[in-house]
Structure 1
Amino acid sequence: MSDRTTDPVPRRLTEWEQRTEVPLFAASLLFLLGYAVRVLSPHGSEPWRDIALALVAATWSAFVVDYGVRLRLSGQGRRFARTHWLDTLVLLLPLLRPLRVVRVYSAVQKRREQPRLSLYARVIVYAGLTSVLLGFSAALAVYQQEHGAPGASIRTFGDAVWWACATLTTVGYGDAVPVTPVGRLIAALLMACGLALLGAVTGSFSSWLLQVFSREDEKGPPASG
């Protein structure tokens, strides 16, 4: 009897993920839009705040349904949460859904059967798109927590965007810092993501340079006339 942990991914699960990855990415953008309207619109600006809340609830419900379907199709039971820890984390914290961008790209390529980008281009595109979406999400979340807190230095959404840029790039000027516990937790997560994305881009660029120089070395010096 074979060990279930070594079984390949069920075909039905693979097909489901390929069909739903792009629509769910669109749903994640709608979730982000609804959350942004909810956070940035002033109190009393109805019915926009209610519409935004309904949009957030509807898209998150779609994420829950997708997670439940994939849990059942996987046949892994409780082990699914451990083997698909990123999916579980994204379900609990939907603002982290930009981290799944690379799976969206893979689903599109398999569906259209178009030539893939080079590895270096894929890493840079993934890191760039993830940084923008993740930075915007973090700025919204921190602004929601900080702008009304006593002694806060992040008072406007512009302050939050500046803070997110400084944190993602690991610059950390220190002129705008979270003071609430939730804000600092968001900052810690964004720091970790920023280091990972920066390391991915730097490593990919360095590897590309090494490959270019290696090719030049293999060509050897030009022959003398």
Structure 2
Amino acid sequence: MNESPGKQERWDRRMETPLAVASLLFLAGYTVRVLAQDLDQVWLDLCLAITLATWGVFILDYAVRLRLSGLGPLRFVRAHLLGTLVVVLPLLRPLQMVKIYDRIQRRHDKPRLTLYARVMAYSSITVTLLGFAGALAVYQHERGAPGATIRTFGDSIWWAAETLTTVGYGDVTPVTPVGRIIAVGMMACGVALIGAVTGSFSSWLIQSFRREDEKRPPGDSPGAS
């Protein structure tokens, strides 16, 4: 039996800001641990504690949502695949910032941006966060690996840009199993994002040309005799 939808909505509103803060703290803690290896161990341990604590917040939020949904675990997982993936791979959690941005845009029950502008904005945010998180993860596993071509974080950023844009020069590539798994995921995301942006831009052009044609007087269309 499902819980009252009002309880879920209240929980969503209550956790909106804490989850946004936790997402940023997780990314910040992970970034410091990967990029600032020369820090004192106490600071590295603090960053580890922050990442683990925020991960615990994500798991708690997921468990509460499962309880409030009234669904069985398998049905809930099928209905919330992205949320489940984010709990298992918390480095993807900053992507949830896109949802926060969407809620801000929908204040007063109406988005401030048009549909096409929202697609562009969400895609830009997603690419930036996904590229940065993917570059961090690949750099963590690739640096120091035998035969590695990704030796600096700059190399990793360059590789992430190549991968997400599907350019793939091949000058730097992952050599570790984990790095290659991350690469496959980023390739799939890159193709999907490019498709979404291209489709949205094409639709916007068609709509613009259609509005221009509708404004023309009858018989004044191009090619008319």
TM-score, normalising length: structure 2: 0.90
Secondary structure of the corresponding residue to residue 146 of structure 2:
coil
Kindly provide the CA deviation profile for residues 56-115 of structure 1, in whole angstroms up to 9, marking residues without a partner as x.
011111101100110111010212111111100000001122443342233334555564
The AA in structure 1 aligned to 2:71 is: Q
**Residue pair 1:95, 1:137 contacting (<8 A) in 2 also:** yes
Flag structure 2 segments of 5+ consecutive residues without an equivalent. 221-225
**Residue pair 1:166, 1:173 contacting (<8 A) in 2 also:** yes
Partner of 1:72: 67
**1:90-129 residue pairs with structure 2 within 5 A?**
90-110=86-106, 113=109, 115-129=111-125
* 1:189 corresponds to 2:162: no
Partner of 1:21: 16
- Cα pair distance change 1:63/1:112, threshold 3 Å: farther
- Cα pair distance change 1:72/1:8, threshold 3 Å: closer
Kindly provide the CA deviation profile for residues 129-158 of structure 1, in whole angstroms up to 9, marking residues without a partner as x.
111111000000000000110000000011
CA RMSD of aligned residues (A): 2.1
Secondary structure of the corresponding residue to residue 155 of structure 1:
coil
The AA in structure 2 aligned to 1:12 is: K
Flag structure 1 segments of 5+ consecutive residues without an equivalent. none
**Residue pair 2:135, 2:156 contacting (<8 A) in 1 also:** yes
* 1:161 corresponds to 2:152: no
Secondary structure of the corresponding residue to residue 47 of structure 1:
helix
* 1:42 corresponds to 2:42: no
Provide the C-alpha distance between the structure 2 equivalents of 1:164 and 1:80, rounded to a whole number of angstroms. 32
Match of 2:172 among 140, 164, 176: 176
TM-score, normalising length: structure 1: 0.90
Partner of 2:84: 88
- Cα pair distance change 1:205/1:50, threshold 3 Å: same
The AA in structure 2 aligned to 1:74 is: S
The AA in structure 2 aligned to 1:181 is: P
Identical positions, percent: 61
* 1:206 corresponds to 2:202: yes
Query: 70-79 or 135-144: which moved more?
Result: 70-79
**Residue pair 2:135, 2:160 contacting (<8 A) in 1 also:** yes
- Cα pair distance change 1:110/1:121, threshold 3 Å: closer
The AA in structure 1 aligned to 2:92 is: L
Structure 1 segments, 4+ long, off by >6 Å, are none
Provide the C-alpha distance between the structure 2 equivalents of 1:202 and 1:101, rounded to a whole number of angstroms. 23
Secondary structure of the corresponding residue to residue 164 of structure 1:
helix
